[in-house]
Amino acid sequence: MNITFFKYQGTGNDFIMVNAIDEDIILEPLQIQRLCDRKFGIGADGIILIKPDVKADFYVDYYNPDGSQSFCGNGSRCAVSFAYAQNIFDGKTCSFNAIDGIHTGKVLDIDNIEISMCDVEGIEEVDDDFVLDTGSPHFVRRCNALEEIDIITEARKVRYNQRFSAQGINVNFISQNGSEIHMRTYERGVEDETLSCGTGVTAVALSSVSENGLFARKIVTNGGSLMVNFRKSGNSFRTIRLQGAAKFVFSGEVKSEK
């Protein structure tokens, strides 16, 4: 099967995009693993199939490199940019469905995309760490020397511990630099560090405030900066918006064998 694909990246998170609006494309886990492989395939942090949806303008069908599924913040921002370029929706605003429900998207410009995130009910504090779900489960830990940490070793102690090993969890390490929060993320499904993580940035932003009110947080990843706007009321978070760069890289055709 030959697949026409488009490569996008959102602050260093890179994705294989496929327009499946008019064509029923089904990828098996082994195909996904091969396509995401950086040595033997296209190479990506995930694959997104844009499909028709009865409740929204389109459906974002996201797969991790291991073939598992989840919601992806940066992937969804790239999906909005891709769908806009493919004329899948009219104007510069859209709705899309995903594994965690309905979202909205806005094209601020072709390379700058904002999406809504689902509401978050509660953050669990575990000693000095935080656990929360922003469409995907996240663990947030503060550290002093962010660039010096052995993130693979330290993150896997959390990701594969007795509590989280079955479902998996994304692990974020953060440090404060003036008014900015810097972070590094180990992603489940990728099982490695990625340059950025949209749901991780959101988790870090939400866990950074203790008082109620409206907030805007700039989070700096190794792949670039993202903005998170939200309202906190008690232990609930509403009107969460994730904004940042989402850029087309290249396109091509690949043969994907089962």
Active site residues: 72, 197
* C-beta separation of 201 from 231 below 8 A: no
d(CA 35, CA 221): 25
DSSP string, 58-88: EEEEEE-TTS-B---HHHHHHHHHHHHHTT-
* C-beta separation of 17 from 245 below 8 A: no
Per-residue CA distances from 8 to 76, 106, 109, 125, 154 (Å): 11, 17, 15, 35, 29
The candidate with the shortest Cα–Cα distance to 1, out of 255, 258, 230, is 255
d(CA 120, CA 91): 29
Q: 235: exposed, middle or buried (C-beta count within 10 Å: 0-12, 13-18, 19+)?
A: exposed
